[in-house]
Amino acid sequence: MSAVRSPRIGVLALQGDVREHLAALTDAGAEAATVRRPAELDAADALVIPGGESTTMSHLLGVLDLFDPLRERLAGGMPAYGSCAGMIMLATTILDTRPDARHLDALDITVRRNAFGRQVESFETDLEFAGVTDRAGDPLMRAVFIRAPWVESISPDVEVLARVPQGPAKDRIVAVRQGNVLATSFHPEVTGDRRVHRYFVDMVRASGV
């Protein structure tokens, strides 16, 4: 009899905080590995798409022959978590992007790129994250936003997990989930708080992959 194995979670390693996501996933109980080639995607049960520049990421996915296989895996229900540019890549509709940028259509939301504008391009705030900070004794979550998108609108089967708590962007949606797909406008990999990665690893386990 074999023990239940840890989920194998790939981190798309084209741009962004790849090492930080690998470390956070390992801390959260997953086996984590970089994904740069189709065979590495095949070997993963689930995928994290880090931040970066979504238009560049879209281009690189095409160059590396990853775009179509990734779209297919997502359409087949592979769990995925996108942070910042990763959220943009997963969405169905992007505002303020380049006409030639492609995206993965896995999350039925409209996202606005660089939505917070110049004055608050990068900022941090403490927020409520549904299913995480509302458990007894769990503190608010520190969220770091870097030229981040926000979610402008969602379809009815998308669950809102977090909103901006105060300031000019108060109540804007910054974390969502639809089935096996999770996305945050902010970067939990940089704070040392592993709760979002644990939430995702739990999602992957529950998906039965």
Ligand X SMILES: NC(=O)CC[C@H](N)C(=O)O
Contacting residues toward ligand X, per CB under 6 A: 51-54, 84-85, 88, 113-114, 146-147
Give the residue carrying structure tokens 């509302």.
Answer: 134
Q: How far is the CB of 39 from ligand X (least distance, A)?
A: 26
**Do 183 and 196 form a contact (C-beta atoms < 8 A)?**
no
**List 84, 124, 152, 159, catalytic entry:** 84
Q: Is 54 annotated as a binding residue?
A: yes
Radius of gyration of the chain (CA): 16
CA 126 to chain centre: 18
Q: What is the DSSP letter of 147?
A: S
Cβ nearer to ligand X, comparing 7 with 52 = 52
CA 49 to chain centre: 6
Whether 84 is a known active-site residue: answer yes
In sequence order, what are the beta bridge partners of 95? 112
Q: Is 146 annotated as a binding residue?
A: yes
Whether 124 is a known active-site residue: answer no
Whether 189 is a known active-site residue: answer yes
Cβ nearer to ligand X, comparing 98 with 206 = 98
Whole-number Å distance between alpha carbons of 90 and 110: 10
Q: Is 113 annotated as a binding residue?
A: yes
**List 20, 21, 103, 187, catalytic entry:** 187
Whole-number Å distance between alpha carbons of 162 and 172: 9
**List 20, 21, 103, 189, catalytic entry:** 189
Cβ nearer to ligand X, comparing 84 with 107 = 84
Secondary structure (3-state) at 129: coil
Cβ nearer to ligand X, comparing 115 with 201 = 115
Binding site, annotated residues: 52-54, 113, 146-147
Active site residue ranges:
84, 187, 189
What residues are designated binding site for L-glutamine? 52-54, 113, 146-147
